[in-house]
Amino acid sequence: MFSKSCEYALQGVLYIALHDKDENKNSGLRDISESQGIPYHFLSKILQQLVKAKILGSIKGPHGGFYMNVDPKDLKLIEIVKVIDGLDRLERCGIGMKECGDDNPCPIHKDYKSIREKITDLFSRESVAELVDDVKAGHSFVKFSAD
């Protein structure tokens, strides 16, 4: 449903939020890239989009890197999707029909519309902080290969 760019953005933000308070240091691009197996230059472009949208901040130099520019409690996952993929991604037909809609439904329109609405609701409800808290409490598992 989401592009690779969006998946990588979500993973990158989760990594940064999980490590945001670690020893008062920023998350380096190389650390994020290697921990997730995301191509370095591709991730750089994605995270810069989030910096431009003021979701992340960045500092250049030897002690530079990325940090949360928005309180993770106030950052809903839908905001990341909006910046990277746009919200129209959540309105598209499940089988790619251009004319699909309530008045002209494709064969899976009704069921897929329900799924899209649930995903939109989930991403609108869940904050980055809730994901971080869930991971830290051991209720969900996130493995970063550099950890």
pLDDT along the chain (147 residues), means of 10: 94 93 79 93 97 96 89 97 94 91 95 95 97 91 64
30's tokens: 């190389």
Residue 14 domain-assigned (yes or no): yes
Name residue 59's beta-bridge partners. Answer: 65
> Which domain, by its residues, includes 59?
4-84+127-136
Residue 29 domain-assigned (yes or no): yes
Residue 56 CA to residue 17 CA, distance in Å, equals 10
Q: How far is CA 107 from the centre of its chain?
A: 30
Q: Does residue 50 fall inside a structural domain?
A: yes
40-52 and 4-19 helices cross at what angle (nearest 10)?
80
- Rounded-to-integer distance, Cα 33 and Cα 72, Å: 21
Domains: count for the chain: 1
Is residue 40 in a domain?
yes
Q: At 56, which CATH number?
A: 1.10.10.10
pLDDT in tens, 35-61: 989 999 999 999 999 999 999 999 998
